[in-house]
Structures are given as C-alpha cells and as structure tokens.
C-alpha cells in the first residue's frame, strides 16, 4: 500500500471515530458538562441530537438519568447521584397516561419495550401511555454511594425510595406536559411501594396498580411455606407427607446430636458441626423461596414430588438430600452471615442485590422465610431469632429490639393490611401466599381487589409469557384495570 493510500485510510479511520463519538450520547453529556451545562437526563441530550436530525424523536426505549439527592430529608447532606430509569414511549400519544413500573428484587423484570404482548404492554396500549421502569436506589445499576457499607445503607429506606420516585414523576410530568393520568404499578414489594406512593404523594399520581403486594410487615413469613404445603397436599398428598416426614427425621437427628448421620446425607462447605436452623434456612431457600414454586410451577413441583416419592430412595430424608445434593451447604449461621459482609459493589451477593435486600428486611420489610411447627417440628420463634442473629445482628449490628421496632413502625406508618386509600387496584392469585399479608377489601369505592385463578408455570401476570398462556383471564383483568384507571 502506498504512503498516500495509508494516509487516506488513517484520515478516514480518524474522522469515522470522531463522528461515532459525536453521535454517542455519553460524549455529549461529558462535552456539555465541560461548559457547565447541567445535564440531568439522557433525554436532554437525545432532544438536542434529534433537533439536529429533522426535529423529531424516534419512539422506542431510552435511558433517563435523573440527578437525585442522597438524602431528601437531611438538608446538611448535599451529595447527589445519578439514577437511571428506562423509558418506553412506543405507545405514547398526546393525552396518554404516564405509567411507572416499580421494579423490586422479588418482582419480575418488565418485558422489553417492543414486546407486543404482556399485561403491562397491553395497559400502555389501552392508555396510550409512556412506560417508565423505576429501579430503587442501591439496586441494579443504581449505586448512589461508593460501597454498600452499613454507613451508606442508612440512605436505603422506603421513605428515600418514595422521594426518589416523587422526583422522577415530577420530572416526567414536565417532560410530557400533554400527558393524562399518572399511574404507578408494582408487583410483590414493588406493589407495596406503588400503594405507599399513592398514600404519601396523592398529588403526584392518580392511582396505583399492585399485584401480590404483601402489605403487612411481619418478622417471619411462615405462610409462604404453609401455602405451598397446602397446595402440595391438594395436588400430591403423598409428596407433602414425604416432605413433612423428611423434616421430622432431620429434626430428630439434631435432637440426638447425630452429626455424622446429618453429614452423611448433606454436603457441607466446611467441617464445622452443622447448626439446625442454619441448615433448615438453606433448605427453605433451596426448595421454596422461588417464584416458580410460589406461583405453582407445575414442572418444578413435579420434579420435587418425583424425588420425594421415589421408592428407590430408602427414606424421606435421603430423598430430601437428593434435591439439594448439587450444592454445598454452610454449616453455621456465622458462615452464612460472612457471605453478606462484603461491601464492595463487585461482590456477587451485592451484584444480586442480596445484601441490600436483607438490610431492608432488617430495617423495614421483615418477612424472613420460616417453617411453621406443624410442618417442621421446629420452633418458629427460634427460627425467626436465627434470622435476627445471623443477618440483622451479625451483618448489620442491629439489635433485636431495633428490628422489632422497625417492623412495628412500618405497619404504623403505612397501615399494613389496614391501609385505607383511594384509587388502588390490587391483584392476587388464589395460590399466592402473599395474599395472607395483603388486603382483600376496601371501604373506598374507588379501590378494588381482583382475585385471579391458579397461576401456572411460575409466571407473574405482568410477565409476557403468563399473559400468553392465560390470555382470556388476563384480558378480562385488563378490561377491569383500564376501566378503573379511567374512573380515577
């Protein structure tokens, strides 16, 4: 290649690189900030770019980055951080609604903007809405501090999350001044946040839609496993009986201090003597703390029951150990706690939002998954104490008294199951254990609770595949929701 050709190729590469960078939104954010232009959202830059390109914004998905205060309630703290939300304006039309979907660790990920089915997508079509996915501080990519230390996690609270949401909704109303109603939507604890937002900021939203919201805060949540056992007993009585017998056999081995036999059945990560409640906690998490079984995943229940009724395995305990044999188990509560003490954002338990979620359980949410005595022959009170010792005290240095006060305060402040509020649409599946902590009726005529039939395949009604599988039922639900929203 001649020197001339090489020079041309180098210039072409250089100018191509510059053009690509100039078309990149992040480039303009940095460039404009160098000139002291305050950029609080990616949409600001998108608007600038679109004005260059025929003055039109193509509809679809984009990220909205909003400057939030680290503390909305302490004026002495001036720190700020950038919160990222996903905006889908594919179906938005003038006069249409603004729908904010609140993502929670225990709720499904919202379907993609371009997906043509799914309850949320259908709601947005019916209401000509722009849909914004809100991920709370300290979860997902929203990291307001340098680490997840206890000192930093003090800025993680329902109060601060709702204030972040209020700022977002206020900004959206400014961005879409021709919009109609504003509706917040959430599932599980995201549903709690939707209802509480309507309760605390009624001037910013016209109503809330919540699915599977466990509104009452309790220390333990034995209802979860009780509900699963009840369904198993109705579907496969011999399976439920085998599970109960396996728990009884394991409890007896602990009573007899027969640790060699326990170690024979289960694979432990260390050589320490296993602790009863540490082992049962991990069994509960492995078998039951899983949306697929909470929502009647037929395939998963079949797998569990096939193993638990396998006569080729000599005892119920052997069958139970077969279900969890693929992973090693921690022997003690202290070892479990150690997995959640790392504060660096790169730690796996933080990347998966585990440490942050447990902090919220200790400070506001509660609902540690326990086994009731009628199923496991364990003391549910001691099971709850195990959680407070392992997580609240060991990981976060919170006393029992403080944890119990936090739970009581949450119910006092937000009403728990006794909350009375207008313009709320609640949804529960008949098989969802969270309904035991939810609200089934309202005195206000503008609020209602809808009960769905059994959910199948472990999917939530706001997920697209659930919508596809049970379309007739959900089309009726969609009609009820849109009628309710139009009345608000």
Rounded average pLDDT over 133-149: 96
Q: Where in the chain are all domains bearing CATH 3.40.50.1820? A: 62-215+421-488
Looking at the structure, give the CATH architecture of the domain made up of residues 62-215+421-488.
3-Layer(aba) Sandwich (3.40)
Rounded average pLDDT over 405-417: 94
pLDDT at 367 over 70: yes
Q: What does the angle CA 291 – CA 296 – CA 297 come to, to the nearest 5 degrees?
A: 75
Helix segments in 183-274, DSSP class H: 189-200, 223-235, 237-255, 259-265
pLDDT score at 451? 73
Confidence of residue 19 (pLDDT cuts 50, 70, 90): very low
Our separate counts of H helices and E strands in the chain read 22, 10
Extract the runs of DSSP E, i.e. beta strands, from 336-433.
366-368, 424-429
SS3 of 149, please?
A: coil
Choose among 285, 263, 283, 281: nearest CA to 273. Answer: 263
pLDDT at 464 over 70: no
pLDDT score at 348? 80
Question: What's the pLDDT tens digit per position in 185-213?
Answer: 998 899 999 999 999 999 999 999 998 89
| Pairwise CA distance, residues 340 & 25, whole Å | 36
Rounded average pLDDT over 236-261: 94
Residue 79: phi and psi, rounded to 5, are -65, 145
Residue 469: phi and psi, rounded to 5, are -75, -30
Mean pLDDT of the chain: 83
pLDDT score at 33? 41
Residue 18, token pair as written in the block: 């510059």
**DSSP β-ladder status, 130-134 and 80-88:** antiparallel
Residue 244, token pair as written in the block: 């109960």
pLDDT at 170 over 70: yes
Contacts of 362 (CB under 8 A, 6+ apart): 388, 391, 392, 396, 398, 403, 406
Q: Are 196 and 414 a contacting pair, CB within 8 Å?
A: yes
pLDDT at 37 over 50: no
Confidence of residue 119 (pLDDT cuts 50, 70, 90): confident
Q: Are 133 and 85 a contacting pair, CB within 8 Å?
A: yes
- Total residue length of the chain: 488
SS3 of 147, please?
A: coil
pLDDT score at 40? 40
- In the chain, % of residues over pLDDT 70: 79
Higher pLDDT, 312 or 228: 312
Confidence of residue 255 (pLDDT cuts 50, 70, 90): very high
| Pairwise CA distance, residues 63 & 103, whole Å | 15
Residue 479, token pair as written in the block: 């009609």
Higher pLDDT, 322 or 39: 322
């Amino acid at each position: 290649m001649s020197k001339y050709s090489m020079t041309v190729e180098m210039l072409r590469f250089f100018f191509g690189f510059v053009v690509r960078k100039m078309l990149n939104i992040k480039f303009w954010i940095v460039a404009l900030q160098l000139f002291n232009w305050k950029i609080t959202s990616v949409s600001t830059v998108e608007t600038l770019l679109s004005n260059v390109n025929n003055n039109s914004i193509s509809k679809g998905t984009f990220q909205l980055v909003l400057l939030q205060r680290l503390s909305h309630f302490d004026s002495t703290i001036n720190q700020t951080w950038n919160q990222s939300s996903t905006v889908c304006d594919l179906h938005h039309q003038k006069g249409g609604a603004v729908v904010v979907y609140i993502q929670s660790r225990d709720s499904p990920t919202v379907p993609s903007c371009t997906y043509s089915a799914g309850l949320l997508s259908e709601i947005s079509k019916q209401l000509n809405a722009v849909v914004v996915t809100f991920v709370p501080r300290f979860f997902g990519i929203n990291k307001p501090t340098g680490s997840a230390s206890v000192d930093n996690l003090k800025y993680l609270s329902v109060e601060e999350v709702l204030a972040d949401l209020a700022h977002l909704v206020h900004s959206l109303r400014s961005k879409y001044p021709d919009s109609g109603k504003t509706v917040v939507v959430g599932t599980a604890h995201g549903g709690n946040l939707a209802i509480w937002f309507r309760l605390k900021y009624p001037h910013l939203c016209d109503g809330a839609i919540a699915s599977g919201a466990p509104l009452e805060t309790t220390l333990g949540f034995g209802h979860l496993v009780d509900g699963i056992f009840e369904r198993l007993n109705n579907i496969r009585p011999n399976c439920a009986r085998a599970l109960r017998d396996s728990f009884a056999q394991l409890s007896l081995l602990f009573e007899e201090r027969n640790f060699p036999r326990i170690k024979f059945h289960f694979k432990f990560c260390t050589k320490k003597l296993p602790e009863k409640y540490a082992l049962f906690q991990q069994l509960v998490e492995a078998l039951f703390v899983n949306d697929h079984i909470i929502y009647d995943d037929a395939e998963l229940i079949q797998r569990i029951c096939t193993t638990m009724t396998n006569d080729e395995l000599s005892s119920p305990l052997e069958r139970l150990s077969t279900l969890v044999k693929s992973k090693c188990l921690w022997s003690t509560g202290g070892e479990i706690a150690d997995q959640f003490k790392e504060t660096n954002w790169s730690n796996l338990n933080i990347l998966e939002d585990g440490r942050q979620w447990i902090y919220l359980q200790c400070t506001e949410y509660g609902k540690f998954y326990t086994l009731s005595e009628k199923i496991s022959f364990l003391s549910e009170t001691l099971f709850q104490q195990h959680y407070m010792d392992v997580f609240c005290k060991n990981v976060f240095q919170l006393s029992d008294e403080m944890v119990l006060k936090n739970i009581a305060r949450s119910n006092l402040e937000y009403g728990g199951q006794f909350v009375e509020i207008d313009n709320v649409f609640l949804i529960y599946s008949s098989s969802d254990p969270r309904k035991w902590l939810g609200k089934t009726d309202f005195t206000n005529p503008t609020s209602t609770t809808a009960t769905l039939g059994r959910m199948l395949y472990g999917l939530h009604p706001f997920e697209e595949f659930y919508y596809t599988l049970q379309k007739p039922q959900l089309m009726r639900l969609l009609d009820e929701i849109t009628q309710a929203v139009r009345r608000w």
